[in-house]
Amino acid sequence: MSDAPVVDVRNGDCRELIAAMPSDSVDAIVTDPPYELGFMGKGWDASGVAYDVTLWSECLRVLKPGGHLLAFGGTRTFHRMACAIEDAGFEIRDSIYWLYSSGFPKSHNVSKGIDKAAGALAHESKGFTVAGRTDKNLPNPKVKGYVPPEPATDAAKQWRGWGTALKPAHEPIVLARKPLNGTVADNVKRYGVGALNIDGTRVLTDDRFGGGPRGKSGFAAGYDSDGWTAGSDKGRWPANVITDGTTEAEWVRYFFCPKASNGERNAGLDALPATFAPTMNNGIGGKEHDPETATAKQNTHPTVKPLALMRYLVRLVTPPGGTVLEPFAGSGTTLAAAILEGFNAIGCELTEDYLPIIAGRVQWAQQQRANKTESLFPE
């Protein structure tokens, strides 16, 4: 196998860190920026950095001509980030949608709100469940979803069943490109970027990359003696939809990728203390876990992307031996994915608390690659 990928993790504001980097120095940018929703009161998710044209202008500068940018966004705020990316000089090439069925609706119960305003809050002694968890003090069996209390007032009864939000079931990803220098052919020959790795991301019914329903999953290429394979001419053309494989039709036609398991999140973090921390899919409205019903974890970052998803994305836009930049390293998933795919990586992270998590996951990925580990997604 070729030399181990080089990973450079930098602590600080990504705008300042990227401004210090040389122009035309990275091959791809794959990033999971803040969605600017103020999630769980986190300051980093309400700074406006994802809308900052200056940030994306610096990203454009350090990308080689024809280099691609993949940036996640929230469904409510995606448009503002996409406009900032375009205003910085990128060409918007497409949008990819990661579909999943495990999202939790964060909706206001209108009926309950009416009762509360009237001073007649419905009695909840019958209990209610959230995300399949039953009130531990009540005998009710577990029920999937949320069972609201009975309305108390006539007005509340009239508005029973009304809410304010849909269940989240997808996350959009901007696919953008730095303008080419000449034709695609000229640009690819000169800079090594400008095109997408179609064959390397064709969708196969292959279980090498984590499995799915009946073990079906994966994309076409795997390791060879140098840690890279160009791919296969068999398999489905990669689509701008990625699913969690809920139905057979989905995992046959599209790349399959469920959300990250606890085992995957915590891989390589045994040396860190386990704590109870809220995540996207646990707790009620972002409140802390109940330790009796929650699982302690070393990876306390609330928005961890799946390794399989990030491996697929970095492979799609990065040439062999290339360097991936992640301006928002978070818990290090993009960096770990780059390592497993044989790419060098540069990660910027503002929050010091996440640096030990990044370090542990990066070291774990390097070990998996060195050992040519096939099973990369522990339960």
pLDDT digits (tens, 9 = 90+) for 93-104: 999 999 887 777
Mean pLDDT value across residues 359-368: 93
pLDDT 10s digits, 203-216: 765 444 433 333 33
Give the per-residue pLDDT at 347. Answer: 98
Which residue did the predictor score with more confidence, 276 or 242?
242
Q: How confident is the model at residue 134 (pLDDT cuts 50, 70, 90)?
A: very low
Q: Which two tokens stand for residue 76?
A: 């409510």
Both 79 and 157 in one domain: the answer is no
pLDDT over 90, % of the chain: 50
Both 188 and 155 in one domain: the answer is no
Per the domain annotation, does 360 fall within a domain?
yes
- Asked if pLDDT for residue 67 goes beyond 80, the answer is yes
pLDDT 10s digits, 85-94: 999 999 999 9
Number of helices followed by number of strands (H, E) in the chain? 11, 11
- Residue given tokens 């990030």 in the structure block: 310
- Domain's final residue, options 164, 191, 212: 164
- Asked if pLDDT for residue 181 goes beyond 90, the answer is yes
pTM recorded for the entire structure: 0.81
pLDDT 10s digits, 218-270: 444 443 333 334 444 467 788 998 886 655 545 456 676 777 888 888 887 88
Both 90 and 221 in one domain: the answer is yes
DSSP structural state of residue 358: H
CATH of the domain at 350: 3.40.50.150
- Domain's final residue, options 115, 148, 164: 164
- Asked if pLDDT for residue 30 goes beyond 60, the answer is yes
Both 35 and 139 in one domain: the answer is no
Per the domain annotation, does 2 fall within a domain?
no
Give the per-residue pLDDT at 43. Answer: 73
Mean pLDDT value across residues 112-138: 62
DSSP structural state of residue 255: E
Per the domain annotation, does 375 fall within a domain?
no
Give the per-residue pLDDT at 223. Answer: 35
Per the domain annotation, does 47 fall within a domain?
yes
Residue 197 CA, chain-centre distance (Å), reads 20
Domain holding 131, by residue range, is: 107-164
Per the domain annotation, does 378 fall within a domain?
no
Other C-beta atoms lying within 10 Å of the C-beta of residue 137: 7
Both 344 and 287 in one domain: the answer is yes
Give the per-residue pLDDT at 283. Answer: 35
Distance of CA 306 to CAs 2, 261, 313, 361, Å? 25, 8, 11, 13
**Burial class (CB within 10 angstroms; exposed 0-12, middle 13-18, buried 19+) of 47:** middle
Per the domain annotation, does 211 fall within a domain?
yes
Q: Which two tokens stand for residue 307?
A: 């390794």
- Domain's final residue, options 132, 149, 164: 164
Per the domain annotation, does 376 fall within a domain?
no
Both 74 and 117 in one domain: the answer is no
Mean pLDDT value across residues 130-141: 47
Per the domain annotation, does 217 fall within a domain?
yes
In angstroms and rounded to an integer, the radius of gyration of the C-alpha atoms of the chain is 22
Distance CA 106, CA 285 (A): 6
Both 289 and 160 in one domain: the answer is no
User: Number of structural domains, the chain?
Assistant: 2
Distance CA 75, CA 93 (A): 18
Distance CA 90, CA 55 (A): 12
Distance CA 174, CA 109 (A): 33
Distance CA 220, CA 234 (A): 8
Both 115 and 224 in one domain: the answer is no
Both 349 and 213 in one domain: the answer is yes
Mean pLDDT value across residues 162-176: 93
Mean pLDDT value across residues 43-66: 92
Both 233 and 295 in one domain: the answer is yes
Distance CA 58, CA 40 (A): 29
Both 321 and 210 in one domain: the answer is yes
C-beta separation of 130 from 284 below 8 A = yes
Please give the single-letter amino acid code of residue 184: V
Both 259 and 337 in one domain: the answer is yes
